[in-house]
Chains A and B, each alone.
Chain A
Amino acid sequence: MDSIIHYASWFLLSTGAFFCAVGGLGILRLPDFYSRQHAAGITDTLGSSLVLIGLMLQSGLSLNAAKLAMILLFLISTSPVATHAIAQAAKQSGLKPKVSAEEDEA
């Protein structure tokens, strides 16, 4: 049982790290602000929550796990709102999303 939890935790930690790396790559490589925002959102929600759940499995039933759960709740409710607010501010200041590749040359 212990080893199952151990491997599950490592699986979650490494997938979380993978999504964080993917998000970072996306911020560098994606073409415009809104799609980069999407990539940053992956890091904020999926990446960090997988890492946090992995850490919760590592710490077992303890006060640390409860604290990690609270951080998880805080993150999954604030990060999307922050992403929303940034995208909203960009839209209100008149930034248009890039729709097709031709606009690149224009």
Chain B
Amino acid sequence: MSQFIDMILLAFLIVVAVAVTRTLNLFATAVLTGVYSLLMACIFTVLDAVDVAFTEAAVGAGISTVLFLATLSLTTQREKAHHHYNWGALATALLTGGALVYGTFDMPHFGDPNAPIHQHVAPHYIDVSPTEIGVPNMVTSVLASYRGYDTLGETSVIFTACMAVLLLLQRERRGGASSALEGPTDEQSMQHAMILRVQSKIFIPLILLFALYVQFHGDYGPGGGFQAGVIFAAGIILYALVNGLEKARAIIPPNILHGLVAFGLLLYAGTGLASLFMDGNFLQYRALAHEATHGEHLGILLIELGVGITVATVMTSIFFSFSGRGRS
């Protein structure tokens, strides 16, 4: 039965991927990429990888679709149609694809317990993580503790992306150009947005509360800093969409927002440095407290908080800087 569901989901995935390449309307393409991510999230759920599914649903289907749409408000809605075919490119793509498929023949079968990846460090993590780290969600203990360096790297990547976007888009402000995302101003559009405003007033607190739950429940169930940050940012972006950018900027002034982007990453790296100064290795949280598991808990809590703060503020400031630019 599960294989049947897999097949249907993968078939949908191929259809959506082809549709993404064929569609010329860029709004439709943005929504289709969201659908693609949602299907991927379903496949991850079927494979019991709920943490990854959660991230894919929140990041891929949720926030990146919103960021795509915010980008599209600055550009055109339609892709230029190409009427000639580039046979060389087709041949290259087919050759590369064929080589990759040929390469997969040598790989271990799907779900093979004797595959090298299941024989390397994974058994050790599964055996000792409940006693060594003491966190019920094994994904969190691998991601935040055993693989703390990698996660620090990922957080730095997000930070760097945010810096690049801000450097490229932040130059405009002093001209006072009209924003692409103006809040409802006149009487009529105020009334049109009435239902949305009432609805969002009920739901934004719940969204933010859910984000905090995901943040601090990550040790016990699926969730953690990445998902929580994205959900928190979604709440703020919803507020900006309904009430206008100016009011959202009034709630979180850009200088505080940009400060928090750096603060999250510094909190992460600082936790690592603290454990270095308390007779441990870099990011070896057991040094943070007298008892090893207490130290691990504290360290994971702090670095997840750092990740959450950075991700939430990065997403928010990328959205603000895209939608804050005037329509050219």
Please report whether the interface of chain A is mostly helix, strand, loop or mixed according to DSSP: helix
Q: Encode A77-106 as 1/0 by CB contact (under 8 A) with B.
A: 110010011001000100000000000000
B192:A77 contact, CB within 8 angstroms: no
- Chain B nearest Cβ from A91, distance in angstroms: 9
Alpha-carbon distance between A41 and B179 when the two chains are bound, in angstroms: 32
B192:A81 contact, CB within 8 angstroms: no
A92:B196 contact, CB within 8 angstroms: no
B195:A84 contact, CB within 8 angstroms: yes
User: Counting CB contacts under 8 A, is B199 at the interface?
Assistant: yes
CB contacts (< 8 Å) of B202 on chain A: these are 77
Q: Encode B166-202 as 1/0 by CB contact (under 8 A) with A.
A: 0000000000000000000000010010011001001
Which A-chain residue is minimally distant from B198 (CB atoms)?
Answer: A81
Alpha-carbon distance between A35 and B47 when the two chains are bound, in angstroms: 38
CB contacts (< 8 Å) of A88 on chain B: these are 192
- Chain B nearest Cβ from A90, distance in angstroms: 12
Which A-chain residue is minimally distant from B188 (CB atoms)?
Answer: A92
B203:A85 contact, CB within 8 angstroms: no
Which B-chain residue is minimally distant from A84 (CB atoms)?
Answer: B195
- Chain B nearest Cβ from A94, distance in angstroms: 14
Alpha-carbon distance between A81 and B192 when the two chains are bound, in angstroms: 12
Q: Encode B187-229 as 1/0 by CB contact (under 8 A) with A.
A: 0010010011001001100000000000000000000000000
CB contacts (< 8 Å) of A81 on chain B: these are 195-196, 199
Q: Encode B217-255 as 1/0 by CB contact (under 8 A) with A.
A: 000000000000000000000000000000000000000
B199:A92 contact, CB within 8 angstroms: no
In the complex, which of the residues B189, B192, B203 contacts A78, with contact meaning CB atoms closer than 8 Å? B203
B203:A92 contact, CB within 8 angstroms: no
CB contacts (< 8 Å) of A78 on chain B: these are 199, 203
- Chain A nearest Cβ from B199, distance in angstroms: 5
Which A-chain residue is minimally distant from B242 (CB atoms)?
Answer: A85
Q: Which A residues between 47 and 90 are near B, CB-CB below 8 angstroms?
A: 77-78, 81, 84-85, 88
Alpha-carbon distance between A84 and B191 when the two chains are bound, in angstroms: 13
- Chain A nearest Cβ from B179, distance in angstroms: 18
Alpha-carbon distance between A81 and B203 when the two chains are bound, in angstroms: 12
CB contacts (< 8 Å) of B189 on chain A: these are 92
Which B-chain residue is minimally distant from A89 (CB atoms)?
Answer: B192
A92:B195 contact, CB within 8 angstroms: no
CB contacts (< 8 Å) of B203 on chain A: these are 77-78
**Can you sample 7 A-B contacts with CB below 8 Å?**
A77-B199, A77-B203, A81-B195, A81-B196, A85-B195, A85-B196, A92-B192
Closest 8 CB pairs of A and B: A81-B199, A88-B192, A85-B196, A84-B195, A81-B195, A81-B196, A77-B199, A92-B192
- Give 13 A-B pairs besides A77-B203, A84-B195 with Cβ atoms closer than 8 angstroms: A77-B199, A77-B202, A78-B199, A78-B203, A81-B195, A81-B196, A81-B199, A84-B196, A85-B195, A85-B196, A88-B192, A92-B189, A92-B192
